[in-house]
Structure 1
Amino acid sequence: MRGTIYQTILFVALGGLAACTSNSSKPDKKSVNAPPCYETLDVDQREIPEIREKIHADKKAWQLDTIFQKKVKREGFNGDVLVAQRGVVIYRKKFGYASFDRKMQDTLKFDSKFQLASMSKTFTAMAVLKLYEAGKIKLDDSVQKFIPDFPYHGINIQMLLSHRSGLPYYAYAFDDSVRKVRTPPDNNQILKWFAQSRPKPYNRPNRSFAYNNSNYMVLASIVERVSGLPFDQFLKKNIFDPIGMKNTYLSTTKNDSINMNRTMGYEGRRKIQTDYYDFVIGDKGVYSTIDDLFKWYKALNSDCFLSKKTMKEAWQPRSFERKGLKNYGYGFRMMLKDAESKKARYVYHNGWWKGYSTLFWFNPHEDYVVIILGNRKNGTVYKVKSILQVMEEDANAGEMDDELTD
């Protein structure tokens, strides 16, 4: 039995964490068209056996399998999972179906593509920071610098990144007198509606944190206007291709290859059909796989994608109106060390959209990442406490609310 489990869940990882350029005290104004960096991130194959022994990989793999088998059998989890530490994959497994209509003919694969939902915000934030490092934008630039008819003033890019803009939420802001079109809107249509109807803002700019998809819709639109590229093309050219994420696409991509191994979202066994706001992007819309997201993790923790200085800013908590462990940086949530701390113990983002439940969680100090992609609405995706206890070999790890919400 154990041999079968190991044969399924253990394998040698393709990548590891390594720095490829030196830090800079100033924003790195290197070309946005950065050369591929994924080839620099591999762990030396000769080091893997020693790493596995030091991190107790076999023991952790067995413990993780016990946890996920329970999530499947008792709580109905359906999806793909990858857990890695120090560049070595410890656990990698798929459970269930890409489509319940076909069942056995459509079981999940390791390259099955899942809608990341709000986890997509990590890519939008990093796209903005790529332009920042290239000297194309400043974090204190106003929205009007890029979108002149934007009706809300006093909001800058940094506020959008950290959900401190006070903007109205586009999904609830427009009445029927404005939202007359039957064709689902895109970002430009939402911006047009904002300019026309000027719905009441949620709050004054920078007064407090308020998680809001409008922020990241606006950011994606700014990336398009600064770069001159559709958002999906910018992501492909400047993030997906350089990192080697060959199975990652935006939902608006006009390419049949995105439909290969693409999953469907479910609530129970009911397939979720197209939503009215599916073509609004930046806040959601990226489809990816567990292996591509492992590449994403490695790139984020190297110098070949963005500088260490910039990533430190991205993972800096920005809101302290209320005491608590949860906080937000630039495109990433974080769990603080304690209620008084301004340093992150864990960095993560989760997502939910039309049946998809996703989680991207890592501990920068212990150098491990947990990637869970589910295509059936299920709260067990966000229950991470037992996983953290295994990875940190500490019964007290993950002392927090066991279930996270988006």
Structure 2
Amino acid sequence: MRFLRPLPYIVLLLLVSCKKEDKHIAENTASATDSPFYVAFNKLSKGYTKEKQNSISRFYDKIWPKDDLSGGFLVAKNGEIIFEHYGGFSNSKAKTEISSDTPIHLASVSKVLTAALVLKLIDGKQLDLDQKVNMVLPEFPYEAITIKMLLNHRSGLPNYAYFSDDRAIWDRSMLHNQDILNLLAEHKFNLYFQPDKKFGYCNTNYAILALVIEKVTQLNYREAMKKMIFEPLGMKNTFVFDYEKDKSKVSLSYKGNGVLYDFDFLDDIYGDKNIYSTPRDLLKFDLATYSKSFLDPKLYKQVFQGYSYEHKGEKNYGLGIRMHEWETGEKLFYHNGWWHGNTSSYVTLKRDTVTMIALSNKFSYKPYKIWKMSPLFGKYPIKEDKDDVPE
């Protein structure tokens, strides 16, 4: 098990830990300068860093009181890692410990990265936000659905996990993205609701967006993500899972009681899930989003605005990102994920340049609680007893 967090109650360890923590911050910040999307933030004072470390440490000990995290946890401000911790095993049988370099399944946090590439294509005039999906994928049978409706979950598409579970429709052999499109074209399933009428979170949206990426770039989604997102941002421990090539090598996932989750026929779908990454790589991605050269500012603004106001409430969804919008004007952006035993949460406080990430390969709702740290960094009206609702 590897600890990278301060232990304030032991003076000697505190001194050693602070030196190690400073080194990790310096290394991570230095690597970011190599990115074409590097943004220079103000350096944090030692007093500020120590104060936040203590507060985050108390939060961590409350959420994981037995220190039973199986995954990674990271909090950064202005690109500097304030607090970081890793624990558990990527393979419990082999006793392979999880470290800062261990890629873990992001589940639906993958959608944030898929959306980023779609938005890059829009920024490069290779796609249009309001373009009809069937203009890119001619076999797509729903005339009114646009790229934007896929990104903000307002398409009304049925969930592929449900219709492919019907043996009269699919034989439960390994399903692929093209199979999903083929089934939609063949069966023309009824939409859940009229396109753009309301919000309806659905993984099919992002499975189709992966096919859009492939059609526009003429690259397999895995290769497109690598060349256009992961490599430019220096995300060296991030990749898209390939069932045949990676099933025996990747971090495994476990039920809450430690029982291994087996792979199933939905484990080779990408776009909505199946990206493996680390907290440090996700931090690199988050830092890039502050750069004006990453996305045109006008398009960037559209990403971080809500599109579903049919029902009054705090929660909304932008273009590939969830959000809380309060009457006070504060906004909190995040995405959660859940696939098999993998649970994940990515929180980005844009106004306060704070990144919070928790990844777990052992089923737990605890990663979803990290948004409650937000009041440590700004005036976020989060109630202590209010729980986030996973997807």
- With the length of structure 2 as denominator, give the TM-score of the two structures: 0.88
Preserved CA contact (<8 Å) 1:140 1:156: yes
Preserved CA contact (<8 Å) 2:68 2:87: no
Q: 2:90 aligns with which of 98, 110, 118?
A: 98
Q: For residues 179 and 344 of structure 1, do their structure 2 counterparts lie closer, same or farther at Cα, with a shift above 3 Å needed?
A: farther
> After the TM superposition, which residues 103-114 of structure 1 pair with which residues of structure 2 at under 5 Å, given as runs?
103=95, 106-114=96-104
Preserved CA contact (<8 Å) 1:36 1:241: no
User: How many residues align structurally?
Assistant: 374
Please identify, of 226-235 and 142-151, the stretch whose mean Cα deviation from structure 2 is larger. Answer: 142-151
Q: 1:52 aligns with which of 21, 42, 45?
A: 45
1:86 aligns with 2:75: no
Deviations along 1:319-377, one digit per CA (max 9) or x if unpaired, are 00011111000000011022xx8x66111111010101111101111111101111111
1:345 aligns with 2:331: yes
Q: 1:70 aligns with which of 37, 47, 62?
A: 62
Q: Report how far residue 111 of structure 1 moved.
A: 0.7
Please identify, of 94-103 and 151-160, the stretch whose mean Cα deviation from structure 2 is larger. Answer: 94-103
Q: Report how far residue 16 of structure 1 moved.
A: 5.9
Q: Name the structure 2 match of 1:270.
A: 259
Q: Name the structure 1 match of 2:283.
A: 294
Give the residue type in structure 1 aligned to 2:253.
G
Q: Name the structure 2 match of 1:378.
A: 364
Deviations along 1:100-139, one digit per CA (max 9) or x if unpaired, are 2233xx2211111110000000111111111111111111
Q: 1:311 aligns with which of 300, 303, 312?
A: 300
Q: Name the structure 2 match of 1:179.
A: 170
Preserved CA contact (<8 Å) 1:388 1:397: no
Preserved CA contact (<8 Å) 2:163 2:169: no
Question: Residue 344 of structure 2 aligns to a residue in which SS?
Answer: strand
Q: For residues 347 and 14 of structure 1, do their structure 2 counterparts lie closer, same or farther at Cα, with a shift above 3 Å needed?
A: farther
Q: For residues 75 and 81 of structure 1, do their structure 2 counterparts lie closer, same or farther at Cα, with a shift above 3 Å needed?
A: closer
- With the length of structure 1 as denominator, give the TM-score of the two structures: 0.85
Please identify, of 71-80 and 300-309, the stretch whose mean Cα deviation from structure 2 is larger. Answer: 71-80
Give the residue type in structure 1 aligned to 2:174.
P
Give the residue type in structure 2 aligned to 1:267.
K
Coordinate RMSD, CA, aligned: 2.6
Q: For residues 306 and 139 of structure 1, do their structure 2 counterparts lie closer, same or farther at Cα, with a shift above 3 Å needed?
A: same
Q: For residues 176 and 386 of structure 1, do their structure 2 counterparts lie closer, same or farther at Cα, with a shift above 3 Å needed?
A: closer
Q: Name the structure 2 match of 1:356.
A: 342
Deviations along 1:56-76, one digit per CA (max 9) or x if unpaired, are 111211221222233333584
1:6, 1:197 → 2: CA distance? 64
Preserved CA contact (<8 Å) 1:383 1:404: no
Q: Report how far residue 195 of structure 1 moved.
A: 1.0
Give the unaligned 5+ runs of structure 1: 21-34
1:368 aligns with 2:354: yes
Q: Report how far residue 13 of structure 1 moved.
A: 4.2
Q: Name the structure 1 match of 2:36.
A: 37
Preserved CA contact (<8 Å) 2:243 2:267: no
Give the residue type in structure 2 aligned to 1:264.
L
1:194, 1:225 → 2: CA distance? 17
Moved over 6 A (4+): 253-256
Please identify, of 109-118 and 300-309, the stretch whose mean Cα deviation from structure 2 is larger. Answer: 300-309
Question: Residue 232 of structure 2 aligns to a residue in which SS?
Answer: helix
